[in-house]
Structure 1
Amino acid sequence: MMVAAPASAQRVMPIRAAEALIAADRGFAQASARTNAIDGIAAMFAHDVAMPRLDATFTRSKAEAIATLSAEPRNRTATATWAPVRAGISADAMQGFTMGMMALRDADGTVRRAKYLSYWRKDRDGWRVVSYKQQRLASEEVQPSLPPVLPPRLVAASRDARAIARHRASIDAAERRFSDEAQAMGLGPAFCKHGRRDATNLGGSRSGMLIGLDKICGTIGGPPPSPVTWAPDAVEVASSGDMGVTWGMIRRKGPVPTGELAIIPYTTVWVRGGPGGVWQYIAE
């Protein structure tokens, strides 16, 4: 006979898993302070990390990500430090995300500020980033810490390739449905429908993160149809089927405003209550 652990114990275990991920992120940040920004940031990358490039494509390897970081000459002599303000963990404790604030200190003393979103996978070498995104921040805004995103309980990791493929296909379908429905109901209502109430968006370069679905929906809007479409190029998903990340391209419809891009890379972290549940975005 199986006896369920007390509710308090079930809750502690996911919290400890999330704390381990936060500790890993902070550990890489501390080590980064002792080297240049390129090596400091790249140290946490997985071999297959996806990171947006200036040409509106994604890297497919750590070497390509290092080349992207190196394309900014100041990074070669700058130091990068960062601090997570939110984390989430999958039920199998093998994937998760962190998001936070970053400072890049150039050799001349200039400080470049940014926000970041990292999606992590636990490999044999420990926690490594498989999807990474930065957003420049023009202000010195301080972002308070946010509650972690936790599953009700932890479960054993699975190697069932067919089940994982079904999880991956379900996120892909959810992302495409999100875009399709935005064409009919408008971008703002679609963001309201497909996000979790406590979702967080990195926001633009002039302000801090958008925290909560009301704030996100109030910022991203406009009448239907949506001025953009999007679809995932790739999906990473936990074997527990409750967390994953998509990345791909947002494509503008019609004329492109002067000074703006026709194609924009995006990254979205998704969660659900478990296999068979409804996917909702939680971070982007």
Structure 2
Amino acid sequence: MRPTLLVSSTLLLAAMLTPLYDGSRLAAQPQPAPRRTGDRRAADPAPLAAVTTLLDIDRAFSKTSSDLSMRAALDAMFADGVIAPWQRGEIVKGKAAVIRALLQSPDSVAKLSWAPIRGGVSADGLHGFTFGYLAAEHPDGRLAHSKYMAYWVREPRGWRVAAWKRRPIGAAPLASEPQAPALPRRMVKATVDSDVIARYYRSLVNAEVGFSQLAQRVGLSRAFADMGSADAVNMGGPDDPQFVVGAANIGRTVAPVNGDQPATITWGADTAFVASSGDLGITFGVIRPNVQQDPNAPAPGAAFFTIWRRASSSAPWRYIAE
């Protein structure tokens, strides 16, 4: 999410320090992608099976976490190189650093639980994402609610979270219906060709840069509407109890005022992960003002990550979750 810097910085800080949502009542089951009218070809069951496995693993980590401390729960789920957006425009890298930052919160004494409402996988079956609702249950029984988003990679030891963020909401969400998964048309064999993967990486980084450049020309609202997929989601703010769904709705949410004016902020991709199939990836960066008011002050910024998806390795990238 890239609204004004002040709002973004506040939300990102709160998102990482506030507690999570109790997903024990959710039973999100993935639904098959709708078939096009007149398409007589049988759907490939492998992509749906892959995302079902990922969602089940996400739920399993939540179930296990109910008996663990916050440190132990996150340590079990996070990849060694996990990345999280943080305060003051920082991007925290590495399991130890991310967990150490999260344990600064008073919620470090709480038990975590969560449940995904949607997931997606890459065609090579090695990258995926989930998002949903979380809670931290404090020793006195108090629950505090939030939304979460996770980007996963499949390691030799299994699926682990490579990027993670959460954002608070004032109360439990009004609804928790599952959303249809983001699926490739078919699964493909992973490639180890470094030149191919490097090309996909560059195209993903360029998509994030192009996103910012488009906002400078047409405004944030139009840029978010144009660069997102029809089923894209945004975490919204603390007053949004649900995820914001749809690129047009996201555009109106991130820029409710003067959204058609050239953006006064800019951003890019400092780093990224991309699947070897070239159809799913995530970018990390920092939003900064085009003009810094005080040249002697530390440069303000708000860290973010954006999950991107495309229909094939040659199609244009569109953000799917952020």
Question: TM-score surpassing 0.5?
Answer: yes
Kindly tell me the number of residue pairs found equivalent between the two proteins: 273
- The farther-off stretch of 215-224 and 239-248 is 215-224
The letter for the 1-side match of 2:52 is: E
Residue 85 of structure 2 aligns to a residue whose secondary structure is coil
1:82 paired residue number: 114
Pairwise CA RMSD: 1.6
Deviations 1:208-234 (A, max 9, x none): 210112321222232321121111111
Matched, 1:220 2:250: no
Helix, strand or coil: the match of 1:135?
A: strand
Q: 8 Å contact 2:107–2:136 — kept in the other structure?
A: no
Q: Within the alignment, does 1:135 sit opposite 2:167 as a pair?
A: yes
For 2:107 and 2:120, how far apart are their aligned partners in 1? 32
Residue 214 of structure 2 is aligned to residue 181 of structure 1: yes
- Deviation at residue 74 of structure 1 after TM alignment: 2.7
Residue 106 (structure 2) aligns with: 73
Q: Please say if residues 269 and 284 of structure 2, whose CA atoms lie closer than 8 Å, have aligned partners that are also in contact.
A: yes
User: Any residues of structure 2 matched to 1:48-197 within 5 Å, and which?
Assistant: 48-75=81-108, 77-141=109-173, 142-197=175-230
2:317 is aligned with 1:273? no
1:250–1:47: structure 2 CA closer, same or farther, 3 Å change rule?
same
SS in 2 for 1:49: strand
Aligned to 1:262: 300
Classify the secondary structure of the residue corresponding to 1:197. strand
> Aligned-pair distance for 1:9?
4.8
Q: Are 2:243 and 1:206 equivalent residues in the alignment?
A: no
In structure 2, what is the Cα distance between the partners aligned to 1:111 and 1:255? 40
Give the percent of matched residue pairs that are identical in Structure 1 and Structure 2. 36
In 2, the alpha carbon distance for the partners of 1:27 and 1:8 equals: 31
Counterpart of 1:8 (choices 38, 42, 65) is: 42
Residue by residue over 1:160-183, the C-alpha shift from the partner in whole angstroms, topping out at 9 and shown as x without a partner, is: 111000000000000000001100
In the other structure, the counterpart of 1:25 is: 58
Query: Which residue does 1:3 correspond to in 2?
Result: none
What's the TM-score once normalised by structure 2's chain length? 0.81
Counterpart CA distance in 2 for 1:165 and 1:99 is 27
- 2:275 aligned with 1:243: no
CA contact (8 A) 1:44 1:128 kept: yes
Cα shift at 1:110: 2.0
1:38 to 48, 68, 71: 71
Letter paired with 1:19: T
Runs of 4 or more above 4 Å deviation: none
TM-score (norm 1): 0.92
Shift of 1:137: 1.2
Segments of 5+ residues of structure 2 without an aligned counterpart are 1-39, 294-298
How far 1:262 sits from its partner (Å)? Answer: 3.3
Query: Residues 236 and 253 of structure 2 are in contact (CA less than 8 Å); yes or no, is this contact kept in structure 1?
Result: no
